[in-house]
Amino acid sequence: MNAFLAPNDYKSPLKPIWCPGCGDYGVLQALYRALSAVGRPPHEIAFISGIGCSSRIPGYTTAYGFNTLHGRALPIAQGVKLANPDLLVIVAGGDGDGFSIGGGHVPHVIRRNVDLTYLVMDNQVYGLTKGQLSPTSPRGLKTVTSPMGSLEQPINPLLTVLAYGAGFVAQATPADMPGMTALIEEAIRYPGFSFVNIQSPCITFGEEDQQLKAHKARMKPLASLGHDPANQLAALDLARAYGTELYTGVFYRNPSPPPTYDALVRQRQVELQKGEPRSRSRVLDGYLKA
Amino acid sequence: MTPVTGIDFERITLRDALDLAVLIEEEARDRYEEFADQLAAHDTPEVADFFSRMARIEERHRTELLERRRTLFGSAPSAVDRRALFDVEAPGYEAARAFMGVRQALETVLAAEVKAHTFFSEALPRVKDPELKVLFQELREEEVHHQALVKAELARCSEKPDDSEAYADDPNAQ
Amino acid sequence: MIEDLVVGLAGSGGDGVVSAGESLLAAASSQGFYAMMTKSFGSQIRGGESSCRVRLSTRKVLNPGGVLDVAVALNWEDFRRFGAELPIGPGTVLIHEAKAGPPPADLAPSGRMPREVIGVPLAELAKASAGTDRAKTTIVLGVLSGWFGVPQEALDRGLQKKFAQKGEGLLEANRKALARGISFAAEHPLAAPRALARPEASAPKLLCDGNEMCASAAIFSGCEFFGGYPITPSTEVMQILSRELPRYGGVVLQAEDEISGVGATVGASFAGKKSMTATSGPGMSLKTEMLGLASIAELPLVLLNVQRGGPSTGMPTKPEQADLFQAAFSAHGDVLRPVLAPSSVEDTFRLTVEAFNLAEKYQTPVVILSDQEIAQRKETVDPIDVSRFEVLERLRPTSEQLTGGYQRFAETPSGVSPLSHPGMQGGNYLAAGIEHDVKGAPTASGATHAAMNTKRFRKLAPLQERSDLFERQGPPDAPIALVSWGSSAGVAREAFALARARRLPVKLLIPSLLYPVAEPVYRAFFASVRAGLVLELSHQGQLYRVLRMFVDVPPGVTSFARSGAQPFRADELLERLEQQAEALR
Ligand SMILES: Cc1ncc(C[n+]2csc(CCOP(=O)(O)OP(=O)(O)O)c2C)c(N)n1
Ligand code: SF4
Ligand SMILES: [Mg+2]
């Protein structure tokens, strides 16, 4: 196929401006490696994001990037994939981007099963706008918009996405770089919608017990628990521990992935185009009244 | 957890080991360059300079090792690539901080050198090839030497904890 | 012999007046008549008041007509609900269900009741001929055929189409009802007979509505992607494209909301395909943020916005022209987004092609601002020679540009930079909503921002010179101006023709390009003008106000505007023009 592409071939000359120590640096590095492992040339990759600190990530790669609107990466990515199913389409963003303002799009991309890989950098806070409450912030969290402590139950991204029926659901942390790299690669290779919740700490506004040091102490690889990723019910059960346990690895991988939406669309196009090709110039003929 | 994936130290050849050593230095060099960029972008020029210096040191090590590899094995293709390495000598991304002081930076480097030392120490018992053993011992000693240099610099550094953060503006909302 | 006949029918949804109107329209158009039909409903899904207007003519039909020549009321309550939409006057032949009793005295808004009022025992005749009073609209078709000369063979063909599959018995029964209607007309001749003249033989015409035209033109233009969310009165475009686009290798995505619909459209355009979305007021509000993204990322995109009565849910089934401000100005930042308004069904084809061309040529979102009347009215259109239309493609980078450090937003004299797309080797770039430099790298530099704004405006500057996007009629030095757009333009055209016939010194301007305001075109047009009217269906008179923002509109030119669902009539417009001419004398 293609000549070997090293991780650095996916690294753009644009320098990240994340705060030093931000978890997103590790995610970016893992992504370079995963992309190198998958081996698609950068010009065949469309990397779509929303708005947030995490959403800056496409600009740091050599892929075609699109840093879109807050919460709207998934719709745009679906348009890209349906317009050209040959592209590798990756979507990334924050917890606020994906599960607050953009939350309405999540069930739909999943039920359609568009072949995208969705990486959420979940830091339980709004980084870009300076530390407000996010939909995954733990109850009781004090932030500038919850000065007396949040009264809200956080959303559980893993459980939500599993319940919507996603075929590939995993969780990673930059505290385990090899593990995260392997998971991103596996998610990209999964034929269908895949989701990786990346616990990517915000060094500037995040809680002390959410930093990588704490992750290193707390994380539990699902493999070490003997979890079978083909077992959807077990996955749902384990996912309930979001917020208390830090499980890493694949929660669920559909052992027999159904056809993707983009593949079905293409199949239908091919069927409908059999026979005499249609001329766009004859489009009005059907309205002629003899 | 080993920072090197997919390499069997019992079977590794001298050529692959040299390539691995080159890549370890390369990874460290890249990381220090990134840190230098990060701190330059975050108004901490002296630490940015320090990390640039570190990057140059790592680059020197890398070229030395690369020379050796060339002399011994010419340009025969390499069987190891960067994807197998995860922060062997490179400090983890979490180590950087906006407005970090030189002292903190030195501590970061020291921790990274210790980490590399541990890596070679742990790998050594598994290495069977005598020639390779020598190389790994040498590389490990190299790390001890680096540690000493860093410790010496640390000793020259003021004992006072760094307080640049206290003077910095609050973060900006975007 | 008369050459023009405006028929209005009203009843309850269960009566099937709309379907009778459709039969009439189909019959007339198959006979070579020019015809137009509009429908109007209450707010129920089934049943409730419903009405339609059919205008038949031997000449091109410009609008649905003013005061009805023939009014058919199946009951008075429903008829009344349509008020100014079905105006009657002394010259109207008012046909009503006999059993509903004589018309209420206050039925005509002017107080001037029709001279000829005929009660037809519709239900009774239907029962007697077809065996069911449901066939009363077929009796209506029969009497219309008898009194006004709509050919029976054509109506019969319509019955065949409608009833043949539903059972032989039904077709036969309705044929009897049609014959009975015709014989009733013969037994009760009109006091003032008026039969339609036969049209000249002509090539077969198209019969379609504005949404069908728009969808067809999108296909013709090479559209390959549609993303949208259903909303009346634009939905038909998505429905047609859902059926048709895949046959041309395209895709339609019914998204979960308008944001996602236009988002997917932006994504497909980024991926290199001609893309489109369609909506109406409330959906347009949701799409606004994404339009801004397409503007700054310089991605081509066509948005059809079919106006309905607003604000909010407003009157989804009624026409209004009150979304011009929204189309032109709903944006944050300095944005210039072309807005085109078709003024007829036929015009929708031309302007949809134009919209795709502008979008691709200038790498910008373009709004087609249609309205409920044009989008949903069916009319005959002379065959369109599509080879007249040029189809433009976006400027793509050359292979040298792709190998030599491609700059997505390169400064060029025209302001248009070559646009790559994923899959194109060497064209890799970062598209973004954030301000960027020539390579697409994010920036917060005021100087770069200013340069990029200048570039984004510069590329659209040629629109100022597009006088071909304006219809001008009448003597160039006429002192009275008549300006109108969208569906109201059809009434303006007719009033203009009447005014010219009376030798009034009037000239007509119908802009297809509403925004940006092509200042030189208006300046030239207004040079001789001392009085005039800007005609549009909105409370505020939005075009009038937009013009005053950019152009020195002569003080004698005033706004003639009123809220939607109260269409203008050529006669009232003519009256105004006469007053203006009088004042100038
Ligand atoms: C429509 C809209 N509303 C609000 C914002 C402001 N905004 C930008 S990013 C953001 C939240 C970022 O949080 P998250 O998505 O978790 O990303 P992070 O910065 O934490 O990576 C907000 C509220 C916006 N850009 N657009
Ligand atoms: S604010 Fe937080 S999430 Fe944003 S760059 Fe800084 S550390 Fe990362
Ligand atoms: Mg966040």
ipTM computed for the complex: 0.92
Sort residue C415 into left (φ over 0), alpha (ψ -120 to 50) or beta.
left
Closest ligand 2 atom, residue A200 Cα:
3
* pLDDT score at A7: 95
Residue A211: closest C-alpha in chain B: B94
C295 has a chain A CB within 8 A of its CB? no
Ligand with the closest atom to the CA of A202: 2
Identify from A121, A177, A213 which residue to disrupt to test chain B contact, counting B C-beta atoms within 10 A and taking the largest count: A177
User: Considering only CA atoms, which residue is closest to atom 2 of ligand 2?
Assistant: A202
Residue C433: closest C-alpha in chain A: A68
C47 assigned to some structural domain: yes
C2 has a chain A CB within 8 A of its CB? no
Asked whether A128 lines ligand 1 (CB < 6 A), one says: yes
* pLDDT score at C49: 87
Q: Which amino acid is at C523?
A: R
Closest ligand 1 atom, residue A100 Cα:
15
* pLDDT score at B164: 74
Q: Which amino acid is at C290?
A: M
List Cα–Cα distances, C388 to A245, C224, C384, in angstroms. 67, 22, 9
Centroid of chain to Cα C86: 19
Same domain, C152 and C247: no
* pLDDT score at A2: 54
> Among B148, B67, B74, which Cα is nearest to B110's?
B148
Closest ligand 2 atom, residue A24 Cα:
8
C479: its two tokens: 């002192």
Asked whether A53 lines ligand 2 (CB < 6 A), one says: yes
Residue C219: closest C-alpha in chain A: A280
> Among B50, B73, B45, B87, which Cα is nearest to B135's?
B73
Model pLDDT for residues B140-149, shown as the tens digit of each residue: 999 999 999 9
CB-based contact B5 A178, cutoff 8 Å: yes
- DSSP 3-state of C554: coil
Same domain, C373 and C327: yes
B146 assigned to some structural domain: yes
Total domains in the fold of chain C? 3
Dihedral through CA C53, CA C54, CA C57, CA C60, nearest 10?
80
State which fold the A7-258 domain adopts: Rossmann fold (3.40.50)
Asked whether A54 lines ligand 1 (CB < 6 A), one says: yes
Contact C217, C274 (CB under 8 A): no
Total domains in the fold of chain B? 1
CB-based contact C441 A59, cutoff 8 Å: yes
* pLDDT score at A276: 85
Same domain, C170 and C228: no
CB-based contact A201 B3, cutoff 8 Å: no
- Ranges of chain A whose pLDDT falls below 50: 1
- Rounded to a whole number of angstroms, the CA Rg of chain B reads 18
Confidence of residue B1 (pLDDT cuts 50, 70, 90): low
The C-alpha atoms of residue B32 and residue C577 are separated, in whole angstroms, by 80
Ligand 1 centre distance from Cα of residue C263 (Å): 17
CB-based contact B94 A211, cutoff 8 Å: yes
* pLDDT score at B32: 98
Same domain, C170 and C232: no
Ligand 3 centre distance from Cα of residue C228 (Å): 29
How many residues can be counted in chain A?
A: 290
Residue A270: closest C-alpha in chain C: C249
Q: Which of C388, C409, C443 is the last residue of a domain?
A: C388
Here the CATH number for the domain that contains residue C297 is: 3.40.50.970
B84 assigned to some structural domain: no
Q: Where are the domains of chain A?
A: 7-258
C273 assigned to some structural domain: yes
Distance from CA of B71 to the nearest CA of A (A): 24
Q: Which of C362, C388, C414 is the last residue of a domain?
A: C388
Identify from A68, A106, A285 which residue to disrupt to test chain C contact, counting C C-beta atoms within 10 A and taking the largest count: A68
Interface of C with A in 338-367 (CB under 8 A): 349
Residue A280: closest C-alpha in chain C: C220
The C-alpha atoms of residue C124 and residue C101 are separated, in whole angstroms, by 14
pLDDT of B136 strictly over 50? yes
Q: Which domain holds residue C364?
A: 213-388
Contact C409, C437 (CB under 8 A): yes
* pLDDT score at C335: 95
A7: its two tokens: 């991780």
Asked whether A65 lines ligand 1 (CB < 6 A), one says: no
Same domain, C488 and C383: no
| ω into B130 cis (within 30 of 0) | no
* pLDDT score at A61: 98
Ligand 3 centre distance from Cα of residue A175 (Å): 17
Question: Which sign, positive or negative, has the C-alpha torsion C474, C478, C484, C490?
Answer: negative
Q: Which of A100, A106, A129, A200 to mutate to test the pocket of ligand 1 (most atoms within 8 A of CB)?
A: A129
The C-alpha atoms of residue B134 and residue C34 are separated, in whole angstroms, by 98
Centroid of chain to Cα A126: 17
B6 assigned to some structural domain: no
Q: Which of C334, C360, C388 is the last residue of a domain?
A: C388
C427 has a chain A CB within 8 A of its CB? yes
Candidates C207, C222, C289; nearest CB to A69: C289
CB-based contact A67 C253, cutoff 8 Å: no
Ligand 3 centre distance from Cα of residue A129 (Å): 9
Confidence of residue B173 (pLDDT cuts 50, 70, 90): confident
A22 has a chain B CB within 8 A of its CB? yes
Here the CATH number for the domain that contains residue C560 is: 3.40.50.920
- DSSP 3-state of C78: helix
C216 has a chain A CB within 8 A of its CB? yes
Distance from CA of A46 to the nearest CA of C (A): 6
Interface of C with A in 406-425 (CB under 8 A): 421-425
* Average of per-residue pLDDT across B31-54: 95
Collect all residues of chain A within an 8 Å Cβ-Cβ radius of residue B1.
Answer: 176, 178
Contact C496, C482 (CB under 8 A): yes
Average pLDDT, 10 consecutive residues per value, chain C (585 residues) = 94 89 91 93 80 95 95 95 91 96 88 93 96 94 94 89 83 95 96 90 92 98 98 96 96 97 98 98 97 98 97 93 98 97 98 98 98 96 97 98 95 98 98 96 96 98 98 98 98 98 98 98 98 98 98 97 94 97 94
